[in-house]
Structure 1
Amino acid sequence: KMILMSKFAPHRVIASLPEATVFMGVPTLYVRMLAEAGLTREACRYMRLFIAGSAPLLIEIFKAWQEITGHTILERYGMSETVMLTSNPYHATDGERRGGTVGFPLPGVGLRVSDDKGQPCPTGEIGGIEVKGPNVFRGYWRMPEKTQEEFTADGWFKTGDVGKVDERGYVTIVGRSKDLIITGGYNVYPAEIEGYLNDMPGVAESAVIGVPHPDFGEGVVAVVVARPGASPEPAALIAALKGQIANFKVPKHCFVVDALPRNTMGKVQKNLLREQHKGLFGG
């Protein structure tokens, strides 16, 4: 049976866990439940599986959930046009569930990473994720031009996601191609910078965007949410980044906000942030 609720209330969900065996949710739901004192190993004693998807799950949340509940969240990846594409293993005999990755391509699913010229990327290098298989849709209804744009000449669907495949075959999503920042001719992947920011003291989460810049085309901007009780200084965060990443990747401005805008699926709406800061450099 399914336990249905009219809206998400973390304390109610936790109270219902002893009656359930599987929970599926976007990362935001896990963050909300971690803030509840009622979330314990005892509350999760009958649970078999926790699944996360639709948006990246921060490694800090992945580890905190493990520590508090004794369960390892299974992250996976799919989209409307393809249904499910990849998943971390369910059985330990098939491999570990690695935080920050979406696991391996499912049986029958082809997945490759290609560069801007359509050539295969070497293992570990970032590029556009393309997929093929019986699960992939045939095209957009009455939109032949768009369908042609979204498929390669040899029939692979361009997901619009950017990622990499490591030496063990685990797939990592680093962002959407539309979120790629090109500054001064260099490609900047927001997820890389966000990873460094999220590891800094006092930072709960971050979003990195590109906005028009008269000299560089796009300027890198960071928007940060502080941890409760913390007050990270934007200048200090930028200074710390300069010692960790290439100079062209370092944000030119950093803003500390109360919360990041999200849609109903919990995904950060970077388009709203870009709109908010589009005049920052007068571009």
Structure 2
Amino acid sequence: SKFWSWMVDEKCSWFSAVPTIFSYLLNAEEDAQLKANLKKVRFGRSASAALPPALQKAFEARFGLSIVETMGITETAAPMLSNPLNSEFHKLGSPGIAYGNEVRVADAEGKVVCTGEENEVQVKGRNVMQGYFKNPQATREAFTPDGWYRTGDLGRMDEDEYVFITGRLKELIIKGGENIAPREIDDVLYRHSSVLEAAAFPLPDADYGQTVAAAIATRPGEEVTESALRQLCLDAMGAYRAPSKYFFLDELPKGPSGKIQRLKLTERFTD
């Protein structure tokens, strides 16, 4: 990859990438001189999808750069959350606090949930769109009765108003009536140093309605066994929430922005 040489040659002071790119950049050969060459780079910005904490720690340790995780959507025209660069206020695993708008965690009717409770992340502000072009029905469905835009993202907010994304409403795994957020499983899988890409997703199940599956792509030249990942997940979250099926792929399906598409995995592996 020419990424780092471009950063140095063009005298870049920061860069923006999706989590998949951060993961791929870790494949670069060890270069003792690289950290010194990157001293003028202030930070890297992560966007488009949730950044697994294990991946962030590995990247920062390898390259000596801080990552600022953010969150934005097309309908807000810009990032709506940002995690402060200052390490004193930075919280690992969070896209941060609201900037330039208001953000809350509430249900479809606009009832705000308690601190730490999971529900939909909603946003309100001058940066939020007025509506979808010539689609009043979609516009009505996109807003709560009191005028907040429904992002479709699941998350929780802590006592300092930092948001932690746990998944997408449409991607939620419902096993035996219990909601399981794919993001928490992804984060565990990324703890294995040989995992390049990982995504948990639902598959139909005769007994539970849905069961948990996981797709994994390993780093080039490295191997990881299903038994190792299975034990990793069992130790972290117990048998009920851990994946029951594992699929190893060369590459996981992604959209134009580089975000892994879980629903395509469900389509592919549903019998």
Shorter-chain TM-score category?
A: 0.7 to 0.9
Q: Where does residue 43 of structure 2 map in the other structure?
A: 49
Distance 1:23 1:243 in 2: 36
Structure 2 counterpart of 1:255, from 242, 247, 253: 247
Q: What runs of 5+ residues in structure 2 fail to find an aligned partner?
A: none
SS at match of 2:117: coil
1:124, 1:110 → 2: CA distance?
A: 17
Whether the aligned pair in 2 keeps the contact of 1:77 and 1:84 (CA below 8 Å) is yes
Deviations 1:99-129 (A, max 9, x none): 321111114x111112466532221222110
Match of 1:273 in 2: 265
* Structure 2 CA distance for partners of 1:175 and 1:13, relative to 1, 3 Å: farther
Indicate the residue corresponding to 2:102 in structure 1. 110
In 2, Cα distance between the equivalents of 1:256 and 1:175? 22
CA distance in 2, matches of 1:36, 1:203: 15
Distance verdict in 2 for CA 1:206–1:28, change over 3 Å: closer
In structure 1, what is the equivalent of residue 9 of structure 2?
16
Please give the root-mean-square deviation of Cα atoms over the aligned residues, in Å.
Answer: 2.4
The secondary structure found in structure 2 opposite 1:119 is coil
| Amino-acid identity (%) | 33
Partner-residue secondary structure (3-state), 1:47:
coil
178 and 59 in structure 1: CA distance in 2 versus 1, 3 angstrom threshold:
same
Q: Distance in 1 between matches of 2:106 and 2:16?
A: 31
Counterpart of 2:55? 61
Matched residue type, 1:10: F
Counterpart CA distance in 2 for 1:35 and 1:240 is 22
- How far residue 252 of structure 1 moved from its aligned partner, in angstroms, is 2.2
Higher relative CO (Cα under 8 Å, sequence separation at least 6) belongs to 2
Other-structure match for 2:79: 84
The aligned residue for residue 3 of structure 1 is none
1:63-99 Cα distance to aligned partner (Å, 9 max, x none): 233223332111111111012211112456xx43333
Which residue does 1:5 correspond to in 2?
A: none
Shift of 1:168: 2.4
Shift of 1:137: 0.7
Residue 254 to residue 218, structure 1, CA distance change in 2 (3 Å): same
Residue among 113, 116, 134 paired with 1:121: 113
The question of 1:173 aligning with 2:168 is answered: no
Asked if 1 retains the 8 angstrom alpha-carbon contact of 2:175 and 2:209, the reply is yes
Q: 1:159 aligns with which of 151, 158, 173?
A: 151
Q: 1:118 to 1:212 in 2, by over 3 A?
A: farther
| Contiguous gaps of at least 5 residues in structure 1 | 1-7
Alignment pair present for 1:207 and 2:203: no
Number of residue equivalences = 268
Secondary structure at 1:255 match in 2: strand
Instruction: Please state how far the C-alpha of 1:162 moved relative to its aligned partner.
Output: 0.9
CA-to-partner distance for each residue in 1:245-280, whole Å, 9 max, x for gaps? 25432222112222212223221121221111111x
Which letter maps to 1:174? T
* Residues 148, 199 of structure 1: alpha-carbon distance in 2 compared, 3 angstrom cutoff: same
Contact 1:129 1:159 in 2 (8 A): yes
Q: Give the TM-score normalised by structure 2.
A: 0.88
Residue 125 of structure 2 corresponds to which residue in structure 1? 133
Q: Using a 3 Å threshold, how does the CA distance of structure 1 residues 244 and 36 change in structure 2: closer, same or farther?
A: closer
**C-alpha distance in 1, partners of 2:58/2:223?**
22
How far apart are the structure 2 equivalents of 1:33 and 1:254? 25
SS state at 1:193 partner = helix
1:239 shift after superposition: 4.4
